[in-house]
Amino acid sequence: IEESEELQCQAATDTAQWLAGALPTLRIGLVHGRMKSMEKELVMNAFRHGEIDLLVATTVIEVGVDVPRATLMVIENAERLGLAQLHQLRGRVGRGTSMSACVLMYRSPLSVLAKQRLGVMRDTNDGFEIARQDMAIRGPGEVLGTRQSGEMRFRIADIVRDQAHIAEVDRVAQWLLTHHPDNVEPLISRWVGSAGGYGSV
């Protein structure tokens, strides 16, 4: 993490210097994770109040930044970021009344997963749909465990594909618990096995 943050800061610094040479009439600011909180806040306030025309930043600006005058965001190496992070970053522009755009730049060749993620970002702005697609791509992980991504250990069901049936399955399970409690433990043992303790949650 340390090395990655260091590389991000250096890349942002290099980009800010290059842009200052290429666009000498613009006032360019820089924000990265190695800066002290007060330094970051000073730069962000200057950007917010129009004293900076162009802000170069690492993903430190992912959340909590509200600058209605920001209308264009360019995300370099977008293929390295997850859908939630890309959606959060894109949400930093378009908060005012002016038209806005977010440009996702990437390096080829893209992996299959990176193509899928960038395709989702191209096709929708809907946060719920992005979350749904993210779960379909990465897998939902464990609802009651510690894994935050990957395939769930269901024998038949697919939580994304079968989401329309979940309420009905829950209704039947509740009915079974109420009307046939003696059958519950054998069924849990048969279908869930060692994770049977989760059946009573």
Q: What does the pLDDT look like over 84-131, one tens digit per residue?
A: 999 999 998 988 899 999 999 999 999 999 999 999 999 999 999 999
Amino acid identity, residue 201? V
Q: Once rounded to an integer, what is the mean pLDDT over residues 3-26?
A: 90
Amino acid identity, residue 14? D
Q: What is the pLDDT of residue 138?
A: 81
Q: What is the pLDDT of residue 126?
A: 95
pTM: 0.69
| Each residue's pLDDT tens digit, 121-138 | 999 999 999 998 998 888
Q: What is the pLDDT of residue 1?
A: 36
Distance CA 75, CA 8 (A): 13
Higher pLDDT among residues 154 and 50, named by residue: 50
For the chain, the distance separating the N- and C-terminal CA atoms, rounded to the nearest angstrom, is 36
Alpha helix ranges (H) inside the chain: 2-22, 37-48, 83-90, 112-123, 127-138, 166-179, 181-191
- Give start-end residues of each CATH 3.40.50.300 domain in the chain: 2-107
CATH superfamily of 2-107: P-loop containing nucleotide triphosphate hydrolases (3.40.50.300)
Q: Once rounded to an integer, what is the mean pLDDT over residues 30-49?
A: 92
DSSP 36-79: -HHHHHHHHHHHHTTS-SEEEE-GGGSSS---TT--EEEETTGG
Band of the pLDDT at 61, cuts 50, 70, 90? confident
